[in-house]
């Protein structure tokens, strides 16, 4: 009886010891929700999924991330607020969809002539690091990315500003101002509603990067792309985490998030450029045409959109924000990264 009692005590002690050694890692497993506005088939949804898997791998399974694509958890224009409020733990969407909420960051979306997605992505991340916008204080920024130059895709050929007059063009954020200054009528909507709007004639064109022609199948409902890269804008996008959730994570888990996110800046930038190439191919396969503007016409387009940047500076400065510095910073960063990635 005493012998049996001894073995029972030894077994209990062993179980407690094992729990002490390994129980913390089991208990520390965290499940997070990740809201992505892109459809599951989109290149950036796939990049987000691979980022999540890498986080799970680097944390040894201590973190599990459940992904909700296509705005199924929070719509595109509610994603940022959804992260702040804890509806989702992590979110990916566009800053422009919460227009007016993030005023300093609007500098990134100005028609600065971004050459490609990699440059735009590097510029966005460097800009936030240098400018430290207070409007992001309510979330943990993991990384940013931004698409290649926004171009004009239409159902009728646009060879000049005269062709743009009165044309209804889908746009978002500051790109709406670009449309208006080019003589068009801006119709604000997220990418998710653009295909149907073009199909039903609600709009006659869209201002967007080439990737949308395949990623969102919009090449099926347009026939022409006007190459206006000289005034190419971008749409800066965020991957952010709820601040309370971030602060609850152990330091080693936070480091894994930071390390992987830093690596995924280049992954996201490359994904944008690859998607633009696929957009060109897909559009060409459908028989769509690319219109290249002559130099004299390009100069007219540049002059037409110049007030967009000037107005941004004026509005930002009126709110006590360094608008002039923000624009100068973006221009300098585009020049810097364009040299490296030329």
At residue 25, the pLDDT reads: 40
Instruction: State the Cα torsion 28-34-40-42 to the nearest 10°.
Output: -110
Structural contact between residues 323 and 317, judged by C-beta atoms closer than 8 angstroms: yes
In the chain the domains, ranked by start, together with CATH numbers, are 29-148+235-276 (3.40.190.170), 151-234+282-341 (3.40.190.170)
Distances (CA, A) of 226 to 122, 128, 158, 237, 287: 25, 31, 6, 24, 15
Instruction: State the Cα torsion 216-221-227-230 to the nearest 10°.
Output: -50
- Tokens for 148, please give them: 């290649």
Please, where are the H alpha helices in 88-240? 117-131, 161-164, 175-181, 194-199, 212-215
Q: What is the C-alpha separation between 206 and 77, in angstroms, rounded?
A: 18
Residue 165 burial (CB count, 10 A): 11
The span from the first CA to the last CA of the chain, in angstroms, equals 82
pLDDT per residue rounded down to tens, the chain (342 residues): 444 444 435 444 444 444 444 444 444 589 999 999 999 999 999 999 999 999 999 999 999 999 999 999 999 999 999 999 999 999 999 998 887 889 999 999 999 999 999 999 999 999 999 999 999 999 999 999 999 999 999 999 999 999 999 999 999 888 999 999 999 999 998 888 999 999 999 999 999 999 999 999 999 999 999 999 999 999 999 999 999 999 999 999 999 999 999 999 999 999 999 999 999 999 999 999 999 999 999 999 999 999 999 999 999 999 999 999 999 999 999 999 998 754
At residue 246, the pLDDT reads: 98
| DSSP line for 39-64 | -TTSHHHHHHHHHHHHHHHHTTTSEE
In three-state secondary structure terms, 112 is coil
Q: 269: closest CA among 130, 142, 150, 143?
A: 143
Q: Strands 168-171, 205-208: parallel, antiparallel or unpaired by DSSP?
A: parallel
Structural contact between residues 146 and 272, judged by C-beta atoms closer than 8 angstroms: yes
Residue 113 region by backbone torsions, left for phi larger than 0, else alpha for psi between -120 and 50, else beta: left
Q: For 50-57, which contacts have Cβ atoms below 8 Å and span 24 or more sequence positions?
A: 50/267, 51/239, 51/260, 51/261, 51/264, 51/267, 54/260, 54/263, 54/264, 55/256, 55/257, 55/260
Structural contact between residues 95 and 108, judged by C-beta atoms closer than 8 angstroms: yes
């Amino acid at each position: 009886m005493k012998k049996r009692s001894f073995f029972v005590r030894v077994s209990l002690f062993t179980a407690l010891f094992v729990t002490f050694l390994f129980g913390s890692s089991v208990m520390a497993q965290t499940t997070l929700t990740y809201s992505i506005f892109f459809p599951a088939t989109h290149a950036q949804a796939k990049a987000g999924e691979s980022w999540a898997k890498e986080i799970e791998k680097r944390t040894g399974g201590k973190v599990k991330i459940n992904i909700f694509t296509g705005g199924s958890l929070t719509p595109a224009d509610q994603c940022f607020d959804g992260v702040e409020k804890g509806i989702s733990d992590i979110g990916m969407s566009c800053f422009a969809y919460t227009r007016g909420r993030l005023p300093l960051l609007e500098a990134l979306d100005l028609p600065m002539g971004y050459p490609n997605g990699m440059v735009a992505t590097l510029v966005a991340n460097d800009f936030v690091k240098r400018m430290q916008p207070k409007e992001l204080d309510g979330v943990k920024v993991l990384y940013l990315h931004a698409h290649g130059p926004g171009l004009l895709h239409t159902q009728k050929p646009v060879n000049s500003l005269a062709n743009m007059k009165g044309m209804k063009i889908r746009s978002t954020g500051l790109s709406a101002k670009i449309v208006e200054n080019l003589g068009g009528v801006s119709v604000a909507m997220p990418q998710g509603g653009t295909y149907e709007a073009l199909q039903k004639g609600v709009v006659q064109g869209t201002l967007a990067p080439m990737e949308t022609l395949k990623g969102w199948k919009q090449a099926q409902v347009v026939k022409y792309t006007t190459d206006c890269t000289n005034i190419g804008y971008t749409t800066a996008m965020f991957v952010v985490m709820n601040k309370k959730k971030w602060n609850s994570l152990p330091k080693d888990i936070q480091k894994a998030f930071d390390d992987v996110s830093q690596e995924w800046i280049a992954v996201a930038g490359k994904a944008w450029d690859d998607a633009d190439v696929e957009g060109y191919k897909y559009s060409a396969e459908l028989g769509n045409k690319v219109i290249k503007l002559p130099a004299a016409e390009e100069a007219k387009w540049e002059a037409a959109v110049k007030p967009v940047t000037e107005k941004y500076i004026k509005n930002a400065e009126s709110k006590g924000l360094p608008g002039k510095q923000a624009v100068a910073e973006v221009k300098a960063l585009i020049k810097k990264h364009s040299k490296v990635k030329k």
